Amino acid sequence: MAFPPQFLDEIRTRLSVSSVVGRRVKLIRRGREFVGLSPFTNEKSPSFTINDDKGFYHCFSSGEHGDVFTFVMKTQNLTFPEAVERLAEEAGLEMPQQTPQDIEQAAQGTRAREAVEAACALYEQTLTAPEGRKALEYLQGRGLSAETIKRFRLGYAPGGNVLKSKMMARGMKEDVLLETRLLSPGKDGRESFDFFRDRVLFPIFDLRGRPVAFGGRVMAADEQPKYLNSPDTPLFHKGQLLYGLALAREAVAQKKEIIVAEGYMDVIGLAQAGFQNAVAPLGTAMTENQIELLWRMSPEPILCFDGDKAGRAAALRAAERALPLLKPGLSLRFAMMPQGKDPDDICRREGPEAMAQVLTAALPLSDIMWRQLLAEHQTDTPERRAGLKTAALAKAEVISDGTVRDQYRYLFQERLSELFRPPKAAWGTGRSTGPRRGGREAYGRPPAPLPPAPARRIVSDTTLARRTRERILLATLLNHPGLTDRVEERLGSLTLADSRLDSLRQNALMHIAQNPELDFAALRAHLARLGFAEELENLLNSDVYVHAAFAREGAPLDQALAGWEHTFVLCQRADLEADLRRAELELAENPSEQAFAAFKALQDQVRPVGEEDGEDLGFSEAKS
């Protein structure tokens, strides 16, 4: 809705920028301004300033600038209307009502919210009363602390019609209790009755942290249904909310990451273990609205589903649902749980460190789709290989955004080429591999496969070169953390072909940024604790030093930087050349004007590679 300017000005008058920011940032007055450490970056010297007279803040380290509404939006992941509503409440102002219908609708919404809040409070009180003892013991048996139970406002719905009798005794109207589905309508002329009875209750909050619905769980393993959830009501639409989001928003804003688990207990268990940036869908498959809501919080949410068949199916459904919606920079990652385990199990039995390792190893959506394609298609005949190729390219066509669709098409084509490439041993060895005339071998065994076309050999060599260069870039940084300021942005823009090394790259950059004075030994120890010991061992004791002596730990820093810079340039050039080859193949298969224009544009970008740049793809550029 549009807000009257006078209303916004009144909020600004009642709430100074420093009073709102001061709840999150320790401020020191300097003259007519306040200064403090930036809430947007990890800094040691204050560069964040506030000027109440002018009504704005400015962060010199990140460039963030705005007023009181902008600050609340940025730090709490709120939309502008949500920020206005929250600040108006703090300022003691009623939200403006524009029409009589708006006023009546607001009044109905207020009555419904009051009813659900009263029910939530009653369920909380009942949990700690004698009749709630069994439910409390159940929650304690699941390892939940009193603090966690209070934070999530867990409760107990007693048997019978206790809620109905107590709510109506307080003057609540039956039609309001029916509208919010706290009561179920009786059938065949019978009276209405409590919707939730003899269940542990998990309140579901809207984005402002107000209860709007409930999920109820039985305590006996053999009772059905195991979970009973509120149906949709005027206050609650399960496809548009996520369980735990109101409580997770601040943690998400701080960590720039959001975890999506499968159920209520997973979210609560993760939060208690320190992962307070966790949410869950509400008893249904992920919806488009929920995916868009997640992307408002984080560009690559991590979906963390149970390690059973149902969990894997849920992950695949989420991937399929997200595929058409993908946009540059917006995707999903998937942390695949060990068989038979869920996040709550791992946090309680193995500890937060084990859970952190699972999250660190999360796979990109593209890997999930590729694995599913391989699971669904055999490749032992030309026809089946053609079927896999057709299915893979059709999967890419589902993506609406043209840029992302092209990248998926290129990725699938590259993986198909690698998958179908004959082994190197079959390539020309100088000997005849065909059957001898008149000899037994003419019919005793099938002929050896033909050597691949030269273009495929080039693709293979280039792929190998790219992977080696990526390992050189990463090894150089690990051995020389002092290079971070010079290479961080460019290394951060790469995505390494090896998903585990890519996770290692992300964690290394993050830890160095938080600890600028870090040395090699401390960095290696930290990464090993995160579960990357094997990757470090393979990387730092591999043959990369044969190609790149500058990457070694003892190499002079200026040589390490020069070698890193040169290797990065070659990586960029290799990407362009690979894109050019794919465009050439596309042009051969589909000789359209659009395909020619794409090929020509890439051709203009790729200048001839001279011998000094490693033309033979033998990595001579990395030798020292």
- Which domain CATH number covers 125? 3.90.980.10
Residue 414 in domain: no
On whether residue 439 sits in a domain, the answer given is no
The closest of 291, 362, 288 to 331, measured between CA atoms, is 291
How confident is residue 531, by pLDDT bands cut at 50, 70 and 90? confident
Tell me what pLDDT residue 164 has. Answer: 94
Do residues 335 and 478 both lie within one domain? no
Report yes or no on 397 lying in a domain: no
Residue-wise pLDDT tens digits, 14-40: 888 998 998 888 898 887 788 999 988
When pLDDT is cut at 50, 70 and 90, the band that residue 615 belongs to is: very low
The larger pLDDT score, comparing residue 393 to residue 547, is at: 393
Listed ranges 361-375, 489-503, 533-547; the one with the highest mean pLDDT: 361-375
Name the range with the highest mean pLDDT among 104-108, 190-194, 310-314, 584-588: 190-194
Least confident stretch, 13-27, 422-436, 437-451: 437-451
Picking from 49, 65, 91, the residue at the C-terminal end of a domain is 91
Of 300-309, 332-341, 574-583, the range with the lowest mean pLDDT is 574-583
Question: Residue 9: CA atoms inside 13 Å, Cβ hemisphere, count?
Answer: 3
Contact 404, 327 (CB under 8 A): yes
Q: For residue 419, give the 3-state DSSP assignment.
A: helix
Beta-bridged to residue 29, according to DSSP, are 34
More reliable by pLDDT, 314 or 353? 353
According to the per-residue pLDDT averaged within each range, which of 214-218, 457-461, 521-525 is highest? 214-218
Q: Which amino acid is present at 480?
A: H
Q: What is the pLDDT of residues 125-160, one digit of tens each?
A: 999 999 999 999 999 999 999 999 999 999 999 988
* Same domain for 316 and 192: no
Residues 302 and 315 in one domain: yes
Q: What pLDDT does 353 receive?
A: 92
3-state DSSP helix/strand/coil % of the chain, to nearest 5: 55, 10, 35
Query: Do residues 186 and 262 both lie within one domain?
Result: no
Alpha-carbon distances, residue 234 vs 106, 121, 179, 494 (angstroms) = 11, 20, 8, 46
> The dihedral of CA 333, 339, 342, 346: what is its sign?
negative
At 540 the pLDDT is: 79
Average pLDDT over every residue of 558-572: 84
More confident residue, 461 or 603: 603
In a domain, 363, yes or no: yes
Q: What's residue 422's pLDDT?
A: 63
What is the number of domains present in the chain?
4
pLDDT tens digits, residue range 102-123? 677 778 888 999 999 999 999 9
Q: How confident is the model at residue 390 (pLDDT cuts 50, 70, 90)?
A: very high
State yes or no: pLDDT of 429 exceeds 80.
no
Percentage, residues of the chain above pLDDT 70: 85
463 confidence band (pLDDT: 50, 70, 90): low
Q: Report whether pLDDT(204) > 90.
A: yes
Examine the domain organization and report whether 111 and 10 are in the same domain. Answer: no
Question: What's the average model confidence in pLDDT over 90-94?
Answer: 87
Q: What is the pLDDT of residue 462?
A: 54
Tens digit of pLDDT for each residue in 209-262?
899 999 999 988 777 888 899 999 999 999 989 999 999 988 888 888 999 998
Task: Say what the pLDDT of residue 92 is.
Answer: 87
What pLDDT does residue 602 have?
A: 65
Contact 360, 503 (CB under 8 A): yes
Q: Of 114, 215, 212, give the one whose Cα is nearest residue 155.
A: 215
In the predicted structure, residue 438 carries a pLDDT above the cut 70: no
Based on the domain organization, do 127 and 263 belong to the same domain? no
- Give the domain extent around 40: 5-91
For residues 610 and 490, membership in a common domain is answered with: yes
Which amino acid would we find at residue 585? Answer: L
pLDDT of residue 423: 55
Q: Is the domain of 612 the same as that of 484?
A: yes
The verdict on residue 450 lying in a domain is no
Note whether 548 and 513 are same-domain residues.
yes
Same domain, 214 and 256: no
pLDDT of 319 over the 50 cut: yes
Torsion region of 531: left, alpha or beta (phi above 0 gives left; psi -120 to 50 gives alpha): left
pLDDT tier for residue 605 given thresholds of 50, 70 and 90: low
Determine the Cα–Cα distance for residues 486 and 488; give it in Å rounded to an integer: 6
Q: Tell me if 405 is assigned to some domain.
A: no
Cα 177 from Cα 162, distance rounded (Å)? 13
**Binning pLDDT at 50, 70 and 90, where does residue 13 land?**
confident
Question: What is the C-alpha separation between 495 and 436, in angstroms, rounded?
Answer: 49
Residue type, 477: L
**Same-domain pairing of 175 and 253:** no
Q: Is residue 390 part of a domain?
A: no
Q: What is the pLDDT of residue 619?
A: 37
Considering the domain architecture, whether residues 487 and 617 belong to the same structural domain is answered as yes
* pLDDT over 80 (residue 465): no
Mean pLDDT of the chain: 82
Pairing label, strands 333-334, 363-364:
antiparallel
Sign of CA dihedral 42, 47, 52, 54: negative
**Residue 48, strand partner residues:** 36, 59
Which of 109-113, 273-277, 511-515 comes out lowest in average pLDDT? 511-515
Tell me what percent of the residues of the chain surpass a pLDDT of 90.
Answer: 37
Domain boundary among 205, 236, 267: 236
State residue 46's pLDDT score: 87
pLDDT at 450 (0 to 100): 35
Q: What is the pLDDT of residue 222?
A: 74
Give the per-residue pLDDT at 453: 36
| pLDDT for the residue numbered 205 | 95
As given in the structure block, the two tokens for residue 568 are 């990065």
Among the ranges 113-117, 459-463, 525-529, which has the highest mean pLDDT value? 113-117
- 45-72 residue pLDDT tens: 888 999 887 788 998 888 888 899 999 9
Residue 71 is part of a domain; what is its CATH number?
A: 3.90.580.10
For residue 579, is it within any domain? yes
Domain boundary among the residues 338, 369, 400 is at 369
Using 50, 70 and 90 to split pLDDT, how confident is the model at 190?
confident
